[in-house]
Amino acid sequence: MSIDWSRRKAYVEPTELRGRSQWRSAGQPLQFALCRAVARVLAREEPPVAFSRRALEHMAALREAFDWVESGKTFLIADAHDSLVWWTFAGRLLNAAIAHVLTGVATKIIADNLAISFTGAVDLASMATAIREKVFNETAEITLPLDAEFIAELKFGECLPAALRDREINARYDCSETLALLARLPMAVIRLRDSR
């Protein structure tokens, strides 16, 4: 690779070596709209834009792995014995808030940008019921759990009165709008063959 700074161009050459990230982090949380777009692209037959050969091959592999994805739905899947995954495609912030509300329904709950994983979980039907009752109940209060350490490290947090700081944090991390969008989507309940 070489960079021509005066012309603002970077020149790269193709390689057979696979790339690898040099940092270990989940990165910034993806927003709801972007994650729903991921689901739409996985459900499409044709790519929405022109892809390179490698990108087409990678998309074909992803579509094969996610052949159950349909646009406009979420998917609660029993993918292994004692393991469930709810593919919300809702973003890490909303998924973390939902995982917090579902604390106790499984031994271990992990939320990322696209899904919430449950191990030591109850059966598929009971989990679907818990989601309907604890997440999509009109009286449910779903908020993103923010620990005191996170709040203490906020830039300029010390300069704000506590009430104003709390109001700002609540507004910034409010997930009620995205939860309402998620609640409109039907949830498909799927048991994969080898999950019994």
Task: Say how far apart CA 196 and CA 193 lie, in whole Å.
Answer: 7
Residue-wise pLDDT for 149-196, tens only, equals 777 777 667 777 878 877 888 888 888 999 999 999 999 999 886 555
Q: Break the chain into its structural domains and give their ranges.
A: 32-195
Torsion, Cα 83 87 92 93, to 10 degrees, reads: -100
Residue-wise pLDDT for 21-38, tens only, equals 555 556 788 999 999 999
> Which pair of structure tokens corresponds to residue 116?
């919430």
Higher pLDDT, 154 or 135: 135
CB-based contacts of 141, cutoff 8 Å, min separation 6: none
Report helix angle 32-43 to 176-183, nearest 10: 30
Evaluate if pTM is beyond 0.75. yes
Task: Give Cα separations from 196 to 22, 109, 123 (angstroms).
Answer: 38, 20, 10
- Kindly tell me if the per-residue pLDDT of 57 is higher than 80: yes
Q: If we measure between CA atoms, which residue out of 182, 178, 179, 177 comes closest to residue 75? A: 182
- Kindly tell me if the per-residue pLDDT of 20 is higher than 70: no
pLDDT band with cut points at 50, 70 and 90 for residue 120: confident
Task: Say how far apart CA 69 and CA 44 lie, in whole Å.
Answer: 9
Least confidently predicted of 6-20, 38-52, 89-103, 124-138: 6-20
| Residue 195 Rama label (left phi>0; alpha psi -120 to 50; beta) | alpha
pLDDT value at residue 140: 83
pLDDT value at residue 26: 61
* Mean pLDDT score, 80-92: 91
Q: Mean pLDDT: which of 50-54, 101-105, 114-118 is highest?
A: 114-118
pLDDT band with cut points at 50, 70 and 90 for residue 6: confident
